[in-house]
Amino acid sequence: MHAPLPLRHLLLGLLVVAIWGSNFVVIKSALAHLPPLFMAFLRFALAFLPAALLVPRPPVPWPQLAAYGVLIGAGQFGLLFLAMTQYISPGLASLVIQTQVFFTIALAALVAGERVRRVQWVGLACAAAGLAMIAVQGDARATPLGLGLVLAAAASWAAGNLVGRRAGRVDMLGYMVWSSAFALPPLLALSLLFEGPAAIAAGVRAADGATWAAVVWQAAGNTLFGYAAWGWLLARHPAATVAPLALGVPVFGLASSALWLGEALPPWLLAAAALVLGGLALNLLWPRIEAALRAPAG
């Protein structure tokens, strides 16, 4: 069995999870003025510069950095921001995006030939049942289009995870900074094509101090600090000890949406969240449970 996290490290992990979970409310506030694809462009532009002047490029091939940047920047966050404009609430987005765990498992099986274990199928069934409950409700908090966009974002995140695995144990902060450069061309091109210069200019004119603070927080707090701190923890503790903390992201997401945006938490939503989180927990925690069951008594 792995040793538990020291208190200071546990508090750091919980801080990162709180930032990532509450960030969905921050995203929603910025999307009130800025077009979603252009906002994603701004996020990764600020994540790249000026940090690239201070953080060295990790020893990773350029094509790998490019693939990761496109998948995470244009794929994950471009689609997520688009969905959150009007098609899904921040709390539900924070929950549905965590299905990247199952997409990662599926892609690893298809691409790397990893075996999908029976317990992983059970976890997937639990999460799928929760998503089905959300889809059946069909209210404005989660339209079919919103669910589809966030699921596509989760799949892109999972593909990025597989690309990131090939880098091995590198400086995650540097990896995020330098891969962010490759998110910029597709995001800007898509923004100009689908949102148009007029909408971009109107959004920039309408943006207030809170909007720009939200954009800066996306880059500095959520991306640079969050990923650097998470990578620091993973470099010092087994992934099986750190990863379960990520279950708190949708908890903070739903709670912050209820607190700051007045998003209701009806029984059906809590039940759906319990199913999704139960499926995720089964996948993340089962190795530790299995190890405990196999450990000799005494």
- DSSP letter for 31, please: T
Q: Is 88 in a helix, a strand, or coil?
A: strand
What is the Cα–Cα distance from 152 to 222, expressed in whole angstroms?
21
State the average pLDDT over residues 171-180. 88
Say what the pTM is. Answer: 0.84
179, two tokens: 């891969």
- Cβ atoms of 288 and 1 within 8 Å: the answer is yes
First-to-last CA distance in the chain?
13
Which three-class secondary structure state does DSSP give residue 143?
coil
Confidence class of residue 2 from pLDDT cuts 50, 70 and 90? low
Q: If we measure between CA atoms, which residue out of 75, 84, 139 comes closest to residue 257?
A: 84
Q: Which residues contact 51 (CB under 8 A, 6 or more apart)?
A: 177, 224
Q: What is the pLDDT of residue 3?
A: 62
Average pLDDT over residues 22-34: 92
Mean pLDDT (whole number) for 95-117: 81
Residues 238-266 pLDDT 10s:
666 777 787 788 889 889 988 888 888 88
Rg (CA), the chain: 19
Q: Collapse the DSSP code of 57 into the 3-class scheme (helix H, G, I; strand E, B; otherwise coil) and give the result.
A: coil
> What is the percent of the chain where pLDDT is above 90?
37
What's the confidence (pLDDT) of residue 1? Answer: 47
Q: Could you tell me the two tokens for 65?
A: 């950095």
d(CA 36, CA 150) in angstroms, rounded, equals: 13
Structural contact between residues 34 and 204, judged by C-beta atoms closer than 8 angstroms:
yes
Mean pLDDT computed over every residue of the chain: 86
| Cα–Cα nearest to 90, from 145, 142, 43 | 142
75, pLDDT greater than 70: yes
Please give the single-letter amino acid code of residue 177: V
pLDDT band at 210 (very low <50, low <70, confident <90, very high): very high
Tokens for 92?
């539900």
- Whether the per-residue pLDDT at 164 is higher than 90: the answer is no
- Residue closest to 153 by CA, chosen among 199, 108, 97: 97
**Residue 10: predicted pLDDT:** 87
Q: What number is the average pLDDT over the span 126-136?
A: 84
Q: How far apart are CA 14 and CA 130, in angstroms?
A: 25
Across residues 49-66, what is the average pLDDT? 92
For the segment 263-281, what is each residue's pLDDT rounded down to a tens digit? 888 888 888 888 888 887 8
Contacts by 81-84, CB closer than 8 A, 24 or more apart: 81/27, 81/31, 81/36, 81/37, 81/39, 81/40, 82/36, 82/37, 82/149, 83/145, 83/146, 83/149, 83/150, 83/153, 84/24, 84/27, 84/28, 84/31, 84/36, 84/146
| DSSP 8-state symbol, 142 | B
